[in-house]
Amino acid sequence: MKTFTEIFTFCLLSILFSCGQSAPSWKLVWEEDFNKDGVIDPAIWSKIPRGRSDWDRHMSDYDALYDVKGGHLILRGMVNPGLPGDTMPFVTGGIFTKDKKGFYRGKLEIKAKFGDAQGAWPAFWLLPFNNERWPNGGELDIQERLHGEAVAHQNVHSYYIDRLRKREPKTSATTPINNGEFNTYGIEMYPDSVVFLINGARTFCYPRIDAPEEELQFPFDKPFYLLLDMQLGGSWTGPPNPDHLPVEMYIDWVRFYEWK
């Protein structure tokens, strides 16, 4: 049962921050700037292990897929160079904050640029810190970009959307980016909505609504962990073109803000 303070805070924040407006000001409370060459902080980040889904079937801990230099994290996708015991044709690098750092009720931004390759699928996204199974726990896609497109895709997933097939309120946006340059991708997480941003401009908002399946419709007011991954292939992108590889993603920084 929620306490009076929790209920009061929720109601107040719902009035102040909704799809109609954003927080008036932000306070930077955490930053990852990747300024230590060769170092990925193990207290915050882990390499993403291989799985069976489209997005993680090529994940590998191969050192050549990861680099930190010049103030950037570099994640790569490449043709498998013949790694012992690895029969996958391609290997990719990705890191996440799973079981280490969660993000909740604030603004998260990532500044990055992408290389071009047929089948490339770099992504920044959020999954529930409590590891609630998909799609019940929800998924927030801050950025997905395919091949060498000059657009980014941003999406919301949940049981309400993916299993009950509800498409209202709006669940996604496709927005132009400055191709070949650094862009900033963001999300603002409120008790009653999530707002998506590119280069500081709002792209779309997904609100909590009065629905019979309320907990399924808006499972987003809780901590999430962050994934940064250089994916290759899958049903959405189609097979990678080996002649276009290796492909790289450069991440300048990750920042998290709380509202003042």
Per-residue pLDDT of the chain (260 residues; tens, 9 = 90+): 445 444 444 444 444 456 866 666 899 999 999 999 999 999 999 999 999 999 999 999 999 999 999 999 999 999 999 999 999 999 999 999 999 999 999 999 999 999 999 999 999 999 999 999 999 999 999 999 999 999 999 999 999 999 999 989 999 999 999 999 999 999 999 999 999 999 999 999 999 998 888 779 999 999 999 999 999 999 999 999 999 999 999 999 999 999 87
- The reported pLDDT for the residue numbered 260 is 79
- The reported pLDDT for the residue numbered 148 is 96
Tokens standing for 31? 């930053």
- The reported pLDDT for the residue numbered 126 is 98
Which of 200, 188, 174, 213 is closest to 104 using CA atoms? 188
Judge contact between 161 and 141, C-beta under 8 A: no
- The reported pLDDT for the residue numbered 168 is 92
Domain interval for residue 151: 4-259
- The reported pLDDT for the residue numbered 69 is 97
Number of structural domains found in the chain:
1
Distance CA 46, CA 204 (A): 30
- The reported pLDDT for the residue numbered 49 is 98
Q: What is the CATH number of the domain that holds 110?
A: 2.60.120.200
Return the bridge partners of 176, or none: 151
Distance CA 171, CA 114 (A): 24
Check: pTM over 0.85? Answer yes or no. yes
